[in-house]
């Protein structure tokens, strides 16, 4: 064995990402990302599901894709069909479904299929950071369409499309999270869904519908999915990360075969993990409704805890958006505050949060926004974490001036 | 809902693969790919492992990567360390291991890290089709280094490297499958391992070592992995597809941190499926040795069945390579035979096999070769399948002239 080190750095391809840092564990108050409630993981149910499905079909593990082809485990596709039929108004068969390794892979496949450098795509002004960054990494020009408390503002979208048409540009897609929007938590009303589809048809632009949070709704059922209303022009994706567990890497895509068959061809991964697929299908085919009811009740209670803690600790300084479901809430501080300056001091205090600029097509436009995921922490941790966050914000920015109805004194608040 | 179809085809990016065909099931005699023996899937053991690991750690599923970071489930990395220490002579810790979604993802990550269009890579003249095609798809110039029954021919490799140096070209890597070579089944002797490493050092070329079959050995233990001999210059990958099940998507990479940290950064998939990881780690940490012993005995017996059937049905027309492990065997027919012409008639007769050209850096040089995977079919199916394959070959090419010691009569043989 030689002790001489070999220098790989001169062999690296252009554009390789910077090295990852060593993972050092979660912060004490982890408000970022899409983690879920550990208490709601149905450990017993998954264990029983593993036993029954392995007994019945375990020997199929010897074959790639369980000998059921690259679209995924048939029983999981059947469950997806059943779920989207009942909850999202979609008409589909298992042949219309592609199981993906997380909905993130669905986004990658759609981008691989459609995007070239210089293309234009329309996203919602505030949107999933992964969707924004990936479209940008592929060289696309990302345009943010305005949102209000009900989601996409149709008139504004119409102006964007008309303006692009005037420049001879046809966007490759309109990416939307219509049902529990990320990060604002809105649900697009039915009339806006029809209007959005009419615009997409008028301008010949596909709709890329991300419904990864659509099962997590607290109030009235949502209107049908956009795919249900225009299956020929919509690519629909969903996830099991939010309704079950994110460490599972399971999502799905539903699209017309001319699109789906290309996505299947691009999915060069030898299939999605079979035990994840089998155990999830077995469990959800029997217990989905009951699990979802409990999970949503828990999440709604946690969101209430978060909203109350934010009101208590930030007072009127933090303007909340009111989510209709999901696992996160979006807040805006006064324009004078740049949340990016607080990331490091917060991390030093054991607190992580998602800074608005990452979740915005125009980073500067969201410099005073931030997103808190409330699913992972316990109610007490949420309360303690928000109080700690308010202290760090006050120390760094002078906002909030009042916490828990007591005036903060800069430099002494902690 | 509109009945008008929307034409996605004009929106597709350049270079998108052709649409996938509908999956229509496996052929009766499936000799292709890397399927394993269904009888050897330890269904009871996996079920028990699922129960115990979910009870102990199931709630961690609520967190991305089980809250253990992007390198993968710690207990699975610990198992990998234990296995490669005992069987492959490697010194490593869990920090040196990246769990991948199949070893195919390991290949993708290494290529993403190192390859640009116009680069040169050296592979073995006959090699894994996925490695050849992926390097080509990334625009690399693929050079095949000669093999004999012990693997890479060192003198020939030295001439290739010297020749490239004369042209001012330094290959990005030497990709080798030294331990149960795919498709020839050879194991590179220790002296050649040292000579290969000396060449790699002399010319400043990394070695990319694929050991995905290294656990499946029937005779003497193999010499240490190349990584064990030169950890600073070797990127080592392995798989759980072969020693457990391919429907699981689990592999691993071991490399020095300057390389591994880049691979971690490129692995933008939100993690590898957690149930696949957890259940495999739990099962193998207790039962790996016993499982491997049974599996290898079964595979060796099936290879013997295949070799006997091939000798009986093809006689001297098929020249066998003699695998020292694994799940496949490589054969050569007379130079007059082009196996590609037999693929379609064989498929029509319910038989699939891997044509040599797919497994060769120079497709024409392997036009008379083919690869049969013997792991999936039962012994009787292997016998029947080889007899059926001989009939199709005779009908299409006139070879073999004798089967089961009876002279074939063209056009009447079936």
Instruction: Compute mean pLDDT per 10 residues along chain B, 414 residues long, and list them.
Output: 73 94 97 95 98 98 97 98 98 98 97 98 98 97 98 98 98 98 98 98 98 96 98 98 96 97 96 98 98 98 98 97 98 98 98 98 98 98 98 96 73 44
A26/B67 CB distance under 8 A: yes
A20/B261 CB distance under 8 A: yes
Chosen from B18, B32, B62, B256 to mutate, greatest number of chain A CBs within 10 A: B62
Average pLDDT value over all residues in chain A: 96
Q: Please tell me which residue, A229 or B403, carries the higher pLDDT value.
A: A229
- Nearest by CB to B19, from A250, A262, A270: name it: A262
Architecture of domain A22-41+291-407: Alpha-Beta Complex (3.90)
Distance CA B258, CA B261 (A): 6
- Nearest by CB to A36, from B20, B46, B62: name it: B62
Chosen from A44, A51, A275 to mutate, greatest number of chain B CBs within 10 A: A275
Distance (Å) from the alpha carbon of B374 to chain A's nearest alpha carbon: 13
pTM value surpassing 0.90 = yes
pLDDT at position A5 is: 81
pLDDT at position B5 is: 81
Distance (Å) from the alpha carbon of B102 to chain A's nearest alpha carbon: 8
Q: Please, what is the end-to-end C-alpha distance for chain A in angstroms?
A: 54
Tokens of B36: 């394993």
Q: Read off the pLDDT band of A2 (50, 70, 90).
A: very low
Distance CA A46, CA A50 (A): 6
pLDDT score of A66 more than 60: yes
Distance (Å) from the alpha carbon of A342 to chain B's nearest alpha carbon: 24
Distance CA B372, CA B253 (A): 27
Domain residue ranges in chain B: 19-41+291-407, 58-287
pLDDT at position B408 is: 76
B16/A50 CB distance under 8 A: no
Cβ atoms within 10 Å, residue A334: 14
Mean pLDDT of A169-183: 98
Distance CA B267, CA B273 (A): 13
pLDDT at position B4 is: 61
Do the beta carbons of residue A304 and residue A392 sit within 8 Å? no
- Nearest by CB to A271, from B9, B249, B274: name it: B249
What would the pLDDT profile of A188-200 be if each residue is shown by its tens digit? 999 999 999 999 9
Distance CA A88, CA B397 (A): 56
Residue with tokens 């479904």: A97
pLDDT score of A3 more than 90: no
Distance CA B259, CA A245 (A): 30
Chain B residue numbers touching A271 (CB-CB < 8 A): 247, 249
B43/A60 CB distance under 8 A: no
Distance (Å) from the alpha carbon of B404 to chain A's nearest alpha carbon: 31
A50/B51 CB distance under 8 A: yes
Pairing of strands B234-239, A141-145: unpaired
Distance (Å) from the alpha carbon of A405 to chain B's nearest alpha carbon: 34
The predicted complex's ipTM stands at 0.96
Residue A310: in which H helix or E strand, if any? helix A274-314
User: pLDDT above 90 covers what percent of chain A?
Assistant: 95
What's the CATH code, domain B19-41+291-407? Answer: 3.90.1150.10
pLDDT at position B410 is: 58
pLDDT score of A412 more than 50: no
User: Topology of B58-287 in CATH?
Assistant: 3.40.640
A275/B270 CB distance under 8 A: no
Cβ atoms within 10 Å, residue B413: 16
Distance CA A20, CA A386 (A): 29
B276/A273 CB distance under 8 A: yes
Strand ranges for B146-302 from DSSP E: 147-148, 151-152, 174-176, 207-210, 234-239, 251-254
Mean pLDDT of A107-134: 98
Distance CA B80, CA B77 (A): 5
The Cα-based distances of B351 to B32, B36, B308 in angstroms read 9, 17, 18
Distance (Å) from the alpha carbon of B8 to chain A's nearest alpha carbon: 7
User: pLDDT above 70 covers what percent of chain A?
Assistant: 97
A114/B12 CB distance under 8 A: yes
Counting beta carbons within 10 angstroms of the beta carbon of residue A155, is it exposed (0 to 12), middle (13 to 18) or buried (19 or more)? exposed
A105/B269 CB distance under 8 A: yes
Pairing of strands A354-355, A369-373: antiparallel
pLDDT at position B409 is: 66
The one-character DSSP state at B408 is: -
Distance CA B161, CA B171 (A): 8
Give A59-287's CATH code, choosing from 3.40.640.10, 2.160.10.10, 3.40.630.30, 3.40.50.720. 3.40.640.10
Distance CA B68, CA B413 (A): 61
Chain A residue numbers touching B250 (CB-CB < 8 A): 273
């Amino acid at each position: 064995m030689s002790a001489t080190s070999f220098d790989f750095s001169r062999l690296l391809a252009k554009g390789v990402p910077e090295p990852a840092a060593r993972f050092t564990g979660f912060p004490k108050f982890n408000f970022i990302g899409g983690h879920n409630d550990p208490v709601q993981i149905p450990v017993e149910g998954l264990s029983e599901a593993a036993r029954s499905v392995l007994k019945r079909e375990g020997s199929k593990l010897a074959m790639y894709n369980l000998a059921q082809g690259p679209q995924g485990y048939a029983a999981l596709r059947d469950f997806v069909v059943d779920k989207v039929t009942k909850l999202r108004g979609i008409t589909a068969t298992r042949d219309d479904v592609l199981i993906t390794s997380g909905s993130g892979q669905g986004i990658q496949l759609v981008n691989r299929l459609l995007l070239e450098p210089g293309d234009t795509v329309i996203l919602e002004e505030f949107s999933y950071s992964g969707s924004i960054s990936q479209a940008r990494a592929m060289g696309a020009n990302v345009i943010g369409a305005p949102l209000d408390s009900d989601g996409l503002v149709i008139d504004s979208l119409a102006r964007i499309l008309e303006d692009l048409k005037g420049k001879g540009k046809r966007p490759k897609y309109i990416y939307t999270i219509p049902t529990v929007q990320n990060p604002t938590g809105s649900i697009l009303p039915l009339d806006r869904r029809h209007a959005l589809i009419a615009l997409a048809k008028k301008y010949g632009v596909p709709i890329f519908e991300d419904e990864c949070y659509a099962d997590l709704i607290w109030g009235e059922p949502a209107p049908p999915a956009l795919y249900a209303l225009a299956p020929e022009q919509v690519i629909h994706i969903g996830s099991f990360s939010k309704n079950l567990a994110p460490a599972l890497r399971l999502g799905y895509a539903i699209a017309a075969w001319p699109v789906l068959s290309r996505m299947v061809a691009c999915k060069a991964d030898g299939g999605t993990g079979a035990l994840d697929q089998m155990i999830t299908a077995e469990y959800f085919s029997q217990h989905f409704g009951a699990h979802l009811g409990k999970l949503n009740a828990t999440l709604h209670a946690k969101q209430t805890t978060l909203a109350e803690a934010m009101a208590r600790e930030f007072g009127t300084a933090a303007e909340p958006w009111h989510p209709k479901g999901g696992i996160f809430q979006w807040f805006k501080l006064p324009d004078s505050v740049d949340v990016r300056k607080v990331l490091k001091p917060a991390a030093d205090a054991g607190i992580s949060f998602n800074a608005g600029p990452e979740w915005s097509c125009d980073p500067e436009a969201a410099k005073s926004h931030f997103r808190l995921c409330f699913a992972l922490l316990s109610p007490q941790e949420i309360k303690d974490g928000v109080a700690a966050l308010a202290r760090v914000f006050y120390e760094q920015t002078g906002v909030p001036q009042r916490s828990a109805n007591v005036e903060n004194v800069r430099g002494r608040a902690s």
